[in-house]
Amino acid sequence: MTSTGFEPKIAAFVCNWCTYTGADLAGTSRIQMATNVRIIRLPCTGRIDPLFIIKAFERGADGVIVSGCHPADCHYTAGNYHARRRFTLFNDFIEFLGIDSRRITFSWVSASEGQKWADIVNDTTARVRELGPFSGYRDLVRSGLTGGQDAGT
């Protein structure tokens, strides 16, 4: 906890078959973890558009987690490979967009790895807390430089 009492807000885009189920397992096992993560369920990490991540930062997230099935285990056989490739390219782009790449965590969590999920939640929360709040986009939007009032989409 920093002196300002800043608590980061973290959005997590997870795949339904592995990570979401792994997070369920963490819950069933009552593994306690930081309260900062908000999970958004998707069928597969292959569904994740990099724009989701940028939008999350725009809308108040200070950090983002993207998590799916281990390579070779994707329920849809190859979605996680596409996700991995997309994010390898996206990573190079992030700093350019003004986002510190340490704010984004990319991980593989299988349906049986409840503890691993808890560790990722706690580690990411601690790391993003250190980095402080991310307000780049919101400031931009509010200052009107984007040419108009935030229309809410």
Partner 1 sequence: MSRIGVFVCHCGENIARTVDCAAVAKRLAELPGVAHSVDYKYMCSDPGQALIKQAIAEKGLTGVVVAACSPHMHEKTFRRAVSGAGMNPHFCEMANIREHCSWIHEDRVKATDKATQLASFIVEKVKRNRPLQPIHIPIERRALVIGGGIAGIQASLDIADGNREVVLVEKEPSIGGHMSQLSETFPTLDCSQCILTPRMVETYQHERIRLHTYSEVESVEGYIGNFTVRIRKKSRSIDEEKCNGCGACIQACPNRKSPNEFDTGLGKRTSVYVPFPQAVPNIPVIDRASCLFFRGRAKGAKKDVCKKCEAACGKGAIAFDREDRIIEEKVGAIIIATGYQLYSIGKEQANPAFKGYGEYGYGTIPDVIDGLQFERLASASGPTAGKILRPSDGKEPKRIVFLQCIGSRDPAKGIQFCSKICCMYVAKHTMLYKHKVHGGQATVFFMDVRAAGKGYDEFSRRAIEEDGARYIRGRVSKLERDGEVIKVYGYDTLNGAPVVMDADMVVLATAMVPQTGISTLAQKLSVSYDRYGFINEAHPKLRPVETNTAGIFVAGACQAPRDIPDSVSMASAAAAKVLGLFSNEKLEREPSVAVVNRELCTGCFHCQRVCPYGAIDRFEVKDRKGALLKTVAEVNKGICQGCGTCQAACPSKSVELEGFTDEQVFAEINALEWTGQGVSDEGGRR
* Binding of residue 141 to partner 1 (CB under 8 A): no
| Residue in 1, 3, 4, 30 binding partner 1, rule: CB under 8 A | 30
Cα dihedral 35, 38, 43, 49, rounded to 10, equals -130
* Binding of residue 127 to partner 1 (CB under 8 A): no
* Binding of residue 84 to partner 1 (CB under 8 A): no
DSSP string, 7-34: ---EEEEEETTTHHHHHHHHHHTT----
* Binding of residue 106 to partner 1 (CB under 8 A): no
* Binding of residue 76 to partner 1 (CB under 8 A): yes
Distance, in Å, from the CA atom of 24 to the CA atom of 113, rounded to the nearest integer, reads 10
| Residue in 18, 19, 42, 110 binding partner 1, rule: CB under 8 A | 42
* Binding of residue 21 to partner 1 (CB under 8 A): yes
Tokens of 101: 């790449």
Look up residue 109 and give its amino acid.
V
| Beta strand pairing call for 37-42 and 10-15 | parallel
Q: Which residues bind partner 1 (CB under 8 A)?
A: 9, 11, 20-21, 23-24, 26-28, 30-33, 35, 38-44, 46-49, 52, 55-56, 59-61, 74-79, 82-83, 86, 118, 151-153
